[in-house]
Each structure stands twice: as structure tokens, then as C-alpha cells.
Amino acid sequence: MGIDIKKIEQLTKNFNSPEYQKQLRKVSEEFAAWYVYEVFKKMYDTVPKSGLLQESFGERWFREMLLQQYSLKAARTDLKDLSDMIYRSLGGKTLSEDVNSAKSFENKMNMLNALNSLISQNKESGE
């Protein structure tokens, strides 16, 4: 019973692929934007309304879209630290981590190959 190294390589490559990291970055920014949007929405709700003019459906719709765009812009620029924190907590990698993880991955694969060879030697010798 050996360890299936090819299966481990396949799974690890998917998580370390640039496409996966790019998608993870985008999702992190969108999540941060959603959070900021909720904050902006609560802030707007605290502004007193005079009641002089009735709020129309179009005005509500426009305001929602405007707050969403403000939130997305804030998550990508001013609140980049928040989206970076979410990105890293979901397993995102920075460029330096990418280089270190590649070295670490090679070391782990060498260790797994060594363990597999030891296991196969033990099976052959009958131990």
C-alpha cells in the first residue's frame, strides 16, 4: 500500500496554479466589497430623511448600484489590506510564498518518494 504521489501532485498543482490564485484573489475582493457595501448601506440608513420628496424605485435602485460600485472600488484600492487578509486566510499566496512553496513541495515529494521506496523494499523483504 503505497502513497499515490501522482494524485497528490495533481491536487497540489490545482491549488498552486496561477488561475486558481487569480480566482481566489477576485473572490476575496468581492467578499470584502460585500462587507464594505453592508457598512455603507447601514451608514446611509442612519441619514435622516425629510420626507419632502418620496423615494422612487429608480432612486433606490441607483443608490444600491452606486453603493456597490463604491464598495468594490474601496475593496480594490483603499481597503486593499482587508481583501489581502481575506485572500491569505483562504489560502492565497504572495509571490515570495510561491517560490518557497515550490521548494517545499519538491522537498515533500522527495520525502514521499523515499518513503514509497522504503515501503516497497519492506514488502519485497517480507517485513
More confident residue, 46 or 119: 46
Whether the per-residue pLDDT at 99 is higher than 50: the answer is no
Q: Which of 123, 110, 36, 125 is nearest to 76 (CA)?
A: 36
Whether the per-residue pLDDT at 8 is higher than 60: the answer is no
At 3 the pLDDT is 57
Render pLDDT for 43-89 as a digit per residue (tens, 0 to 9): 999 988 888 888 899 999 999 999 999 999 998 888 888 888 889 88
Helix (H, G, I), strand (E, B) or coil at 95: helix
Vertex 28, ends 20 and 101: CA angle to 5°?
45
At 1 the pLDDT is 44
State which H helix or E strand residue 61 sits in: helix 57-76
Whether the per-residue pLDDT at 40 is higher than 60: the answer is yes
More confident residue, 19 or 64: 64
Q: Which of 100, 126, 112 is nearest to 2 (CA)?
A: 112
pLDDT tier at 115, thresholds 50, 70, 90 = low
Contact (Cβ atoms closer than 8 angstroms) between residue 90 and residue 35:
no
At 38 the pLDDT is 93
Question: What mean pLDDT is predicted for residues 14-29?
Answer: 83
Q: Which of 124, 40, 120 is nearest to 79 (CA)?
A: 40
pTM of the model: 0.59
